[in-house]
Amino acid sequence: MNYKKLELEDINYIQSIIKDNERILMGENINEEYSHDELSDTISYPDLVVKVKSPEEVSSILKYAYENTIPVTPRGSGTGLVGASVAIEHGIMLDTSLMNHFLELDEDNLTITVEPGVLLMELAAYVEERGLFYPPDPGEKSATIGGNISTNAGGMRAVKYGVTRDYVRGLEVVLPNGKIVEFGGKVVKNSTGYAMKDLMVGSEGTLGIITKATLKILPLPKKAISLLIPFPSLEQAIGTVPLIIKSKAIPTAIEFMQREVIMDAEKYLGKKFPDNSADAYLLLKFDGNSTEEIEKDYENVAQICIEQGAIDILVSDTTEREDSIWKARGAFLEAIKGSTSFMDEVDVVVPRSSVNEMVEYIHGLYKEVNIRIKSFGHAGDGNLHAYILKDELSEEEWEEKVKAAMDKIYGKARELSGQVSGEHGIGYAKKSYLMKALDPATVEIMRGIKLAFDPKNILNPHKVCQL
């Protein structure tokens, strides 16, 4: 694709739209942050960053970019892990972080309408103050909602409540040609033409730019209790998960973790975790409207864990304990990152019944490839995060070993009927693994879909399925 290089006339035009030079960044005013995301080593600067404030601004800029074949990359908080928000072809970056307003709370329809730059933690706090609940709970609380929708972010409550997709009712989207359209709405059911709203969810900013989102919310469960359950071995811990799923109690979350990672988190946060004596842990959460209701559920599950060899059942029923446990859990990624010189990650998802085999396999790679790998993840939904650590390796050794480890992990995931990404997306960094995982016929259709939205391919080029 031959993109037009930004020239003075283009910048003048954009200034005429925005009319606020503080929201237009160029050259040295573009902070280094804008050249990368949270993890991937995909690095590329945009020529221009525009901090947009309205759908109309997004529309005017896209219309101009489309007519002039200038690449445009949307960006929220830049907390992605796969390079989806990096401006590979330079051009214009649209930073949505100033579009951070709550537009409407509709208690009759139990929906909230927000701009895309609202942060996950802001949204959670806003609804919880009002006795309401936005269930998706990805670890990175400073991600924007626009970013969460673009990756179909999952998070820790997926076992019981599902993922971001399940809470997106309607989207306002600016198409690559600048047209503003609505997909879905406040309606609960919809069989009105192809599932455009669902196609936008998880499309990583390649099909259109989300400028408004109407989200489903629920009444806030009145009570939550967590169980931290030490096991003598990871195998026993994870082997217990299918039995929990089969029992009729549905926990909100079923996470697994190991001592090593807990100790990283203790160091990173400067705070003790309630227990670090065992090799492996399950962390479970139950919610409901009364303590009795929850107790009935968790007592049954605790019994199952004991029968499977759990060393103890640590019940956390105060807000303080809850916070300390889940804060530690939320800090795992940063904590592991802090424990090494550089790292890369996999976010594979496998059928729940294969979690044990997948985790054991990843463990074995430590010896086979001779590289440190730490993992934790959502045992309840089969989504594992494994971090491959560079430590003291030379650049050359690292390249070779990380590739070897990745190839093996993704290969094993395919063998277990798993998928490349459970919640972090494909972006730029995981494209080659997507290509290996999908049927070429599927890739061809995905590219056709991209063209249907963006015939000139100006929006977030080289991402997801696009070479």
418 contacts 354 by C-beta, under 8 angstroms: yes
Q: Contact between 148 and a copy of itself (CB under 8 A)?
A: no
> Segment contacting a copy of itself (CB under 8 A): 56-64, 112-120, 229-237, 245-253?
245-253
The strand ranges marked E within 217-326 are 218-219, 223-231, 253-258, 280-288, 314-316
Comparing CB distances to a copy of itself, the nearer of 123 and 175 is 175
Position 108 contacts a copy of itself (CB under 8 A)? yes
* Rounded least distance, CB 24 to a copy of itself, Å: 28
Contact region with a copy of itself (CB under 8 A), list: 21-29, 73-81, 312-320, 430-438:
430-438
Considering the rule CB under 8 A, would residue 129 count as an interface residue with a copy of itself?
no
d(CA 232, CA 43): 42
Number of residues engaging a copy of itself in binding (CB under 8 A) = 85
**What is d(CA 172, CA 426) in angstroms, rounded to the nearest whole number?**
23
383-422: which residues touch a copy of itself (CB under 8 A)?
Answer: 383, 417-422
The burial class, CB within 10 Å (0-12 / 13-18 / 19+), for 302 is middle
Residue 433: closest CA among 40, 62, 22: 40
Q: What part of residues 284-303 is at the interface with a copy of itself (CB under 8 A)?
A: 289, 293
Check residue 426 for interaction with a copy of itself (CB under 8 A): yes
CB-CB contact of 286 with 294 (8 Å): yes
Q: Does 136 bind a copy of itself (CB under 8 A)?
A: no
Least distance (Å) between residue 20 CB and a copy of itself: 28
Let me know the angle formed at the C-alpha of 434 by 170 and 33, rounded to the nearest 5 degrees.
70
Residue 381 engages a copy of itself in binding (rule: CB under 8 A): yes
- 433-452 binders of a copy of itself (CB under 8 A): 434, 437-439, 441-442, 445-452
Kindly give the residue spans of alpha helices, DSSP state H, lying in 339-439.
355-365, 395-415, 431-437
Are the C-beta atoms of 226 and 294 separated by less than 8 Å?
Answer: no
Tell me the two tokens of residue 406.
């990745």
Q: Which stretch binds a copy of itself (CB under 8 A): 36-44, 185-193, 277-285, 333-341?
A: 185-193
Rule CB under 8 A: choose which of 19, 189, 319, 320 binds a copy of itself.
189
C-alpha–C-alpha distance, residues 100 and 80, integer Å: 18
Considering only 162, 274, 309, 411, the residue that binds a copy of itself (CB under 8 A) is 162
Q: Using CB under 8 A, which residues numbered 315 to 334 contact a copy of itself?
A: none
Question: What is the smallest separation between the CB atom of 320 and a copy of itself, expressed in angstroms?
Answer: 25
Residue 193 interacts with a copy of itself (CB under 8 A)? yes
Q: Which of 465, 443, 426, 435 is nearest to 42 (CA)?
A: 426
CA 237 to CA 92: how far, in whole Å?
48
The tally of CA atoms less than 13 A away on the side-chain side of residue 396 is 0
Window 42-61: residues binding a copy of itself (CB under 8 A): none
- Region near a copy of itself per CB under 8 A, out of 39-47, 163-171, 277-285, 332-340: 163-171
User: Per rule CB under 8 A, is residue 130 in the interface with a copy of itself?
Assistant: no
Among 190, 308, 324, 432, contact with a copy of itself (rule: CB under 8 A): 190
By CB under 8 A, name the one of 181, 267, 338, 415 that touches a copy of itself: 181
At 409, the amino acid letter reads I
Smallest gap from Cβ 434 to a copy of itself, in A, equals: 6
As a whole number of Å, the end-to-end CA separation of the chain is: 11
Query: Is residue 103 part of the contact set for a copy of itself (CB under 8 A)?
Result: no
Would you count residue 351 as binding a copy of itself (CB under 8 A)?
Answer: yes
What CA dihedral angle connects 356, 294, 164 and 142, to 10 degrees? -90
Q: Which is nearer to a copy of itself, 111 or 316 (CB)?
A: 111
Residue 121 touching a copy of itself (CB under 8 A): no
